[in-house]
């Protein structure tokens, strides 16, 4: 009966090796979060889901347990790009007193406020993805620990057979599997360290390097369809809201500011103060009809920009919604598979006294570990897709 524990060593080896290959669910987290979207640089509102990470100041905190909401808020508050934008507005002299007296300055401040809000939202989204990646690596570490305990039991049983003089075709099978497991453990720890390092750029090293994320490993379904999400985005997206507000500011008093804004939104270098001064000089020599014509052209240009943003936002919401839905379905399927293996293990335990099926039990437990890893992978995919959907909608994190 003891020999039956190792009668299927090839199946056990293949099972564990296959399971180890599954544990890659954070392998591309750092790349997907930190990669630079070069196509978004020409437009101040085209902030992609994968904007570069920002470097904030140090955050002091004695609390080492944080939720996803707390992490996202910390990243938004400490976003360096947004702080630089605010500092630049002060450098330009956009004080409250000047904004109240100069329509052009109010337009520019409104424009900057919309960009600042979107940048902070993107920082929150990046921090959330890293937070969930850390959760995944911690859960993976637990799975690895359980697998190591199972292999240790196998090794002890194998050593007992060797001491009894029972010939074994592959006496170092378990040791090879333990070596593979150790490699996966080191890889998982490296991924966690990398995620914490990148998160430090968003929330500070004192927080990211020591905190333990608290997160529910269940997925909460939503009864809202994609059309509801699109409607929500049309009212929540700060870039679209800002463009609509800016549409109402185009008049004779602000046309000089729009010369600078038009240059910036087209990706052309145009120092604001010089552009405004030059536009103001030219306006004094224009006929009233020419000024009105310029205003109408600016309004039509902004109408086209608003239409383009609506199309882009719709595509972003639909893509993120589909990814989230697919991840939820796959997570539910992985949960069913995990329940199937629980049932199978229970069946084998009932039959062990009759058939001596310890090898089959070990194989089933390793398969259950593989199912746990797959479920964790689906969970991380859903969390990332849900984060992308929130960013596409423009809702709070």
In whole angstroms, give the CA distance from residue 339 to residue 333: 10
pLDDT of residue 24: 25
Is the CB of residue 276 less than 8 Å from the CB of residue 260?
Answer: yes
Architecture field, domain 3-247+311-393: Up-down Bundle (1.20)
* pLDDT at 49 (0 to 100): 33
Contact 2, 160 (CB under 8 A): yes
Strand partners, 213: 66
User: 150 has which bridge partners?
Assistant: none
Helix (H) or strand (E) holding 212: strand 212-213
Give the angle subtended at the CA of 383 by the CAs of 380 and 384, to the nearest 5°.
90
The pLDDT score that the predictor gives to residue 134 is 94
| pLDDT values of the chain reduced to their tens digit, one per residue, 397 residues | 333 333 444 443 333 333 332 322 223 333 334 333 333 333 433 333 333 333 333 334 444 788 888 898 988 888 877 666 666 565 555 454 555 567 777 787 888 888 889 999 999 999 999 999 999 999 999 999 998 988 888 888 778 878 888 887 777 888 888 898 899 999 999 999 999 999 999 998 877 777 888 888 888 777 789 999 999 999 999 999 999 988 888 888 887 777 777 766 666 555 444 444 445 555 555 567 777 888 888 889 889 999 999 999 999 999 999 999 999 999 999 999 999 999 999 998 888 776 667 767 878 888 899 899 999 999 999 999 999 999 999 988 7
| pLDDT at residue 183, as a whole number | 93
User: Cα separation of 101 and 65, whole Å?
Assistant: 47
Q: What pTM did the predictor assign?
A: 0.75
pLDDT at residue 36, rounded to an integer: 31
Residue 22, SS3 per DSSP: helix
Q: Phi/psi at 200 (nearest 5 deg)? A: -60, -30
CA distances from 128 to 58, 71, 142 (A): 19, 7, 21
Q: What is the Cα–Cα distance from 201 to 203, expressed in whole angstroms?
A: 6
The pLDDT value given to residue 125: 95
Judge contact between 173 and 27, C-beta under 8 A: no
Tokens of 245: 């507000």
């Amino acid at each position: 009966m003891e020999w039956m524990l190792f009668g299927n060593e090839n199946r056990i080896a293949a099972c564990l090796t296959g399971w180890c290959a599954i544990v890659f669910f954070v392998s591309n987290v750092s790349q997907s979060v930190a990669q630079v979207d070069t196509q978004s640089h020409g437009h101040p509102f085209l902030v992609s889901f994968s904007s570069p990470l920002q470097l904030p100041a140090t955050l002091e905190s004695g609390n080492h347990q944080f939720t996803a909401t707390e992490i996202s808020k910390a990243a938004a508050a400490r976003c360096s790009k947004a702080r630089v934008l605010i500092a630049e507005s002060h450098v330009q002299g956009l004080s409250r007193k000047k904004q109240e007296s100069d329509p052009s300055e109010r337009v520019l401040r409104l424009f900057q406020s919309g960009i600042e809000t979107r940048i902070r939202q993107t920082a929150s989204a990046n921090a959330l993805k890293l937070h969930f990646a850390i959760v995944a690596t911690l859960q993976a570490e637990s799975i690895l620990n359980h697998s190591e305990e199972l292999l240790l039991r196998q090794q002890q049983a194998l050593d007992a057979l060797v001491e009894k003089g029972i010939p074994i075709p592959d006496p170092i099978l378990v040791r090879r599997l333990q070596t593979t497991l150790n490699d996966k453990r080191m890889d998982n720890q490296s991924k966690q360290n990398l995620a914490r390092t990148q998160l430090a750029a968003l929330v500070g090293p004192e927080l990211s390097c020591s905190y333990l994320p608290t997160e529910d490993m269940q997925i909460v379904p939503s009864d809202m369809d994609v059309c509801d999400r699109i409607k929500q985005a049309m009212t929540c997206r700060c870039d679209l809201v800002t463009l609509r507000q800016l549409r109402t500011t185009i008049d004779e008093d602000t046309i000089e500011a729009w010369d600078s804004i038009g240059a910036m939104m087209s990706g052309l270098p145009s120092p604001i103060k010089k552009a405004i001064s030059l536009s103001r000089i030219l306006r004094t020599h224009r006929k009233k009809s020419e000024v009105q014509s310029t205003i109408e052209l600016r309004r039509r240009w902004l109408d086209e920009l608003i239409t383009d943003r609506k199309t882009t936002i719709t595509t972003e919401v639909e893509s993120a919604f589909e990814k989230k839905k697919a991840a939820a379905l796959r997570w539910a399927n992985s949960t069913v598979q995990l329940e199937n293996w629980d049932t199978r293990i229970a069946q084998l335990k009932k039959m062990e006294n009759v058939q001596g099926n310890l090898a089959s039990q070990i194989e089933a437990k390793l398969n259950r570990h593989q199912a746990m890893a797959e479920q964790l992978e689906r969970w991380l995919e859903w969390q990332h897709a849900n984060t992308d959907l929130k960013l596409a909608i423009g809702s709070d994190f």
